[in-house]
Structure 1
Amino acid sequence: MTLRTTILIMSAFGVISDSILIAFYPQFFELRYGLASSVHVGAYIAAISIAVMCMLPVWARVARRVETMHLLAYTQLAATAFCLLAIWAPTVEAYWLLTMLMFMTKASYLLMFPYLMRLEPANRHSVTIGLLSVVIHIGAIFGAAVGGLALQEFGPRFCVALMAAGDLAQFGLCTYLIRSGRVVRVLSADEGERAAPAPRRTPEALSALLKLSLLMFLFDFSAYLVRPFFTVYWEARTGISDQLLTGVIFAIPGIVALFALALRHRMASQPRWADHTLLNLVIGAGGLALQASESLWLIVLGRCLYGWALYQVIVKLEVTLFKVSTPAFYARDFGVTNFFQNLGVLLSSFSAGYLVDWVGVPTSFVIAAAGMLLTAVIDRGWFGVDSRHRTSAEVCHA
């Protein structure tokens, strides 16, 4: 296997591990510890975001002294150990402690993204980002489906064991790359960059990075506001309690992402409307609003529209990041934008728990749709009017 292929497979295992329970935490905590609080579930998912957003910059700094793949091998092995211990956590407090340590250590696998982008030529960034996005969506599909089946047939402890298996697979692949000599060492290049005069960031570049980070924050807040309770909502709305089917419905956005990627590769050039950020944000808002319907088929249609928008916008935002950044700042800038993205997920998870208690899940969909429309308005104001930022982000906006 090539280095790029192995990194893509590692990313898939990381996403699968994360996705096994992400759709089923309400059911998990009720089955395992007898807790049925929506606020507790929202707080737990928010805590995961805090763990990742705080530790990724730390791992990025450590990676300036330790080769990325060696660092990943150590941290994924530690994550496996914490996850295995969590299988037998006797109390919910112990489970919180062990799994938070797990997420803190496994957050380092996100460094694979800027590491891979440093090795790819600039003209292949959009292709690589598209592949990574699809790998993430495939992982989410598989993880949600397997998680639903495992929870239904084998119980919550088995789901945690599957998460540990995903982390262990990443450790194994890291070890394979190191021992096979396929790892590309970047510290020597970094030492040369540090010895040279420090590159200066222009005010325009810093402004574009900050605006992009804030845009990612609002987009992620809106896109993931409904995620923690969708599976419970689906089963209550439809009366269907098959958790395997629920996992598949939850994963519909990933299935649509695969279709979008196939369409992109089969066509010499995408239609202008398919590549229009404003239109895709409006489509996403419509998809979120449709999911508040009482009709099963409108909910499914809403998931499809939401999935299309999610794929298109995420890819374009990531392409924009590597357009406004430079190789020397890839890991640092990725850490900045990832911080804002996780902050958006953090606040959405906290908000989701309270919103569900206060106004119910259907209204949460409407609020998320309004947030998506606000993202579209801000996007047009920042990247559609100011020609300087339009130049730096032209690949992302129509």
Structure 2
Amino acid sequence: MRVIRWSLILMTLVSVMADTMLLPFYPQFFEESFGVSDPAHAGWYIAACCTTVMLCFPLWAKVARRWHELPLWVVTQSVSAVLGVMCYLTESLLTFWIVSQLMLMMKASYLLIYPFAIRLEGTGKIGGFVALFAVLMHIGTISGAVLGGYLLQFWDGRDAYLVMIASDLVQIVICIALMLALKIRLTEPGYTPAEVADTPRSPMVMKLAVVAMLFYFSVFLIRPFFTLYWADISFAPWNGEFPSSLVYAIPAIIALLTVVWQRIKAPQLTSQQLLIRGLLVILVGLVLQGLGDPLWTVIGRLIFGWGLFMGVVHIEVLLFAHSRPERFGEDFSRVHLGQNIGIILASFAAGALVSDVSHIAVFAAATAGIVAVVMVAWRLGVFARTAGPEEPDHSIKDAEEAIS
């Protein structure tokens, strides 16, 4: 079990780092690689990426009922590596759009790592494992943003696809090694369709999907053009791509420090209480970032990072608290659908706001969005405590125990 756990951790880190390198820099990437300077184009592309993943992930979850996840990932990662080579070589914008979306269709299967790992771990440490994967996502985001900024400033944005290809190859090797060690067969699912059908579905799952949609819409509004916003309000030498990537990564760094602090002093609050606190902290962070001052923006990023981590972790803790192992993949795909709808809408809205109004308008819209999240979550009963024998340990302190 420990070998599987560490292998999944490594796969998650590698994939997140590689796949998020260009996320803060798509406006610069399209201008440098294809001569497209319209900021709305980057918003449309990010929206298309989210749509592709959103539609394909539930399909991969159904495929995983028949095929074991490990051989499935070998196939999808192999195809992804080939498509990554085509993305690196093409000089046609249309070809890049088509091939990159096909590549994301394959990469959508990677999301099965999350419910697969939690299903293996069992329900006893769901809170800790959710926090662990949130930390892994943030570590990958930090590494990806810094590496992406470095490539764009000192090399070529296309080189990011070479890193993606290398990450696919690393994951293929890991999966094959695990298959050989565990003697995994191709058609060996972790659960049967009959077991899924016999498991009741919680109505709270769809409520959390709605909350996740509004939450991710709000927090993702400021992402696509944040590095451009920082370049506008800062001054040399802090307005280059590499320094911008460091400021962009501040929330991820704060997430890591939050885990360290809560390892020392574990919170004595429920996930519902921590979610409310996180949303209120996000509001403060958004207001400070939208003041247009570099110092207040950095302070706002620090505050925003803490709230963002609390929001992401405890929405998912509540999801798995209301789900069952047989439905983890299916229920997670529903909440993930809500997340991606929010991200898609945010991509469209961010591009329109930046083009027609200003960068600061994005922060105002995001603030209003978080207020809406609080109101809707309260109305749907998400903040109401639901204690029971199946309720997991919500302490983030378990994150370290989950990998020990």
In structure 2, give the amino acid aligned to 1:35: V
Deviation at 1:65, TM superposition (A): 1.1
| CA distance 1:390–1:44, change in 2 (3 Å) | farther
Listed as ranges, the gaps of 5+ residues in structure 1 are none
In structure 1, give the amino acid aligned to 2:357: V
Matched, 1:96 2:93: no
- The residue aligned with 1:270 is 267
- Structure 1 segment 232-271 matched on structure 2, within 5 A: 232-239=228-235, 240-267=238-265, 269-270=266-267
- Structure 1 segment 1-398 matched on structure 2, within 5 A: 2-181=3-182, 187=188, 190-191=191-192, 194=194, 198-201=197-200, 205=202, 207-239=203-235, 240-267=238-265, 269-270=266-267, 272=269, 276-383=274-381
- Range with bigger deviation, 207-216 or 168-177: 168-177
| CA distance 1:210–1:78, change in 2 (3 Å) | same
Deviation at 1:390, TM superposition (A): 10
In structure 2, the residue corresponding to 1:270 is in which secondary structure? Answer: coil
In structure 1, the residue corresponding to 2:30 is in which secondary structure? Answer: helix
In structure 2, give the amino acid aligned to 1:199: D
Residues 66 and 189, structure 2, Cα contact 8 Å, conserved in 1: no
In structure 2, give the amino acid aligned to 1:234: W
Count residues with an aligned counterpart. Answer: 391
| TM-score of the two chains, using structure 1 as the length reference | 0.92
Pairwise CA RMSD of aligned residues?
2.4
Residues 382 and 389, structure 1, Cα contact 8 Å, conserved in 2: no
| CA distance 1:183–1:197, change in 2 (3 Å) | closer
Residues 3 and 182, structure 1, Cα contact 8 Å, conserved in 2: no
| CA distance 1:292–1:21, change in 2 (3 Å) | same
Residues 208 and 389, structure 1, Cα contact 8 Å, conserved in 2: no
Deviation at 1:395, TM superposition (A): 6.9
In structure 1, the residue corresponding to 2:22 is in which secondary structure? Answer: helix
Deviation at 1:242, TM superposition (A): 2.3
| CA distance 1:101–1:388, change in 2 (3 Å) | same
Residues 217 and 345, structure 2, Cα contact 8 Å, conserved in 1: yes
Q: Going by fraction, where is helix more abundant, 1 or 2?
A: 1
| TM-score of the two chains, using structure 2 as the length reference | 0.91
Deviation at 1:382, TM superposition (A): 2.2
Residues 3 and 183, structure 1, Cα contact 8 Å, conserved in 2: no
In structure 2, give the amino acid aligned to 1:321: L
Deviation at 1:373, TM superposition (A): 1.5
- The residue aligned with 2:399 is none
Listed as ranges, the gaps of 5+ residues in structure 2 are 396-404
CA deviation profile, 1:134-161 (whole Å, cap 9, x unmatched): 1110010011001100111111221221
Q: Distance in 2 between matches of 1:286 and 1:141?
A: 22
CA deviation profile, 1:352-372 (whole Å, cap 9, x unmatched): 111111211111101101111
Q: Distance in 1 between matches of 2:189 and 2:353?
A: 50
| CA distance 1:183–1:236, change in 2 (3 Å) | farther
- Range with bigger deviation, 39-48 or 157-166: 157-166
CA deviation profile, 1:158-216 (whole Å, cap 9, x unmatched): 1221122222222221122112227699946523x62x6941526xx2x2111110000
